[in-house]
Amino acid sequence: MSLLKKSRIYSPWLYHLHCGGCNGCDIEILAALSPRFDVERFGIQLVTSPRHADILLITGPMTKQILPMAKRVYEQVPEPKVVVAIGSCACGGGIFYDQENYAIIGIPNSVIPIDVYVPGCPPKPEAIINGIIQGILKLSKKS
Amino acid sequence: MSSEIKLIKYTIKKPITLRYPSSLIPEKKYSQIPEGLRGLLQRDNEKCIGCKACHYSCSGKATTFQYRENKLIIETFILRCAFCGYCQEICPEEAIKLTKTFEITINNPNEKEAYVTTELDLVKCKNCGKYFATKKFIDKTYQRLIEKINPIIKELVMNDYKKIEEYCTDCRRILSIKLNTHPKKYVWLEG
């Protein structure tokens, strides 16, 4: 294993993508990043550009407005990448799940391939940390 | 002076960060688990009678049911479930309970671990041979019928229900005159 691959697993960077949810899961993600839970123990850092990221966090059901931007963000993340869906909206539609809804395209899985699902409405910060660790384990297999 | 004392206090104190996955003490592993926390749902297969009340009360359409030959299959898609607890509230037999497990990660939504399923055996209709309801469901409806009924017509209803117990809802309507179970006769009694 080369040095580059090893260092990627020890310091995966996050990018947080909001796809039209109610902001509940986003607040819980911020709680997971705060000193009480401190995800930075694992070398994780929140970055402002998807070009620097290794792990993509998705929240909310995929709305029609965000679809082109979400596709572009996913393409900008360099390989190897892992996508973690947080909250029951991003996992399976949640309470917004309705096939006749004109504003919502459907589950993000139909647009972006998702590796790890973390259900909950919203999930606790511990569950989010657990999901991110599962994502890191998948990242080590991909690289 | 007071600020210096505060400074010394915080240097001696341990950091508030929880060592979440690696902590050896289970009490200090989690931040707080409140009493009313709603987590993964659990359905008791022996208590469930197959009334489908959880399907009709589900807020996100996560619970679905289907008839597959001689079995009724009720399954809940965990990824869509919002853990709202409506099914626990409405369940007449208290078969559904929301546990306190909240650390759930699923890698593949098509796997079996993404569903909570219960399989129940169905009873055949005597007339048309269609599978229509579970044995427990028929018994429970009979019990609940007796509790709420007017004592004047209690015996008549009890006899009538035992005649049509083994037929499905469509055949009950068709055979009501043949078996003398038509509800018209109760009108004569009251008048």
As a three-state string, the secondary structure of B100-129 is CCCCCCECCCCCHHHEEEEEEECEECCCCC
How close does chain A come to B106, measured CA to CA in Å?
Answer: 5
pLDDT digits 0-9 by tens, B57-104:
998 888 999 998 889 999 999 988 889 989 999 999 899 999 988 888
Comparing alpha-carbon positions, the chain A residue that sits nearest to B19 is: A37
Structure tokens at A30: 């911020």
d(CA A133, CA A128): 9
Between A37, A109, A131, which is nearest B20 by CB?
A37
Spacing of C-alpha A46 from chain mean position: 12
Q: Is the pLDDT of residue B191 over 60?
A: no
A–B interface: beta-carbon pairs under 8 A: 90
Pick from B105, B110, B99, B81: nearest CA to A88? B81
Alpha-carbon gap: B61 to the closest alpha carbon of chain A (Å): 8
List chain A residues with CB under 8 Å of B114: 117
The model's pLDDT over A69-120, given as tens digits with 9 standing for 90+, comes to 999 999 999 988 999 999 988 888 888 887 778 888 877 777 889 999 999 8
DSSP B55-83: HHH-SSS-EEEEEETTEEEEEEETTT---
Q: Which two tokens stand for residue B134?
A: 């579970």
Measured between beta carbons, which residues in chain B are less than 8 angstroms from residue A117?
A: 79, 105-107, 109, 114
> What domain range is A17 assigned to?
3-142
Here the CATH number for the domain that contains residue A95 is 3.40.50.12280
What domains appear along chain B, each with residue ranges and CATH number? 41-121 (3.30.70.3270), 131-190 (no CATH)
Residue B82: how many other CB atoms lie within 10 Å: 22
3-class DSSP state for residue A63?
A: strand
How much of chain A is helix, strand and coil, in % rounded to 5?
A: 45, 20, 35
CA torsion B155-B156-B158-B164 (nearest 10°) is: 170
pTM metric for this prediction = 0.84
Instruction: Classify strands B123-124 and B115-121 as parallel, antiparallel or unpaired.
Output: unpaired
Q: Is A129 in contact with B20 (Cβ distance < 8 A)?
A: yes
- Total tally of structural domains belonging to chain A: 1
pLDDT tens-digit readout, B9-67? 888 888 888 887 777 777 777 777 888 888 899 999 899 998 889 999 998 888 999 99
Location of structure tokens 């309801």? B133
Residue B166 near residue B123, CB atoms below 8 Å: yes
How is residue A130 written in tokens?
């657990």
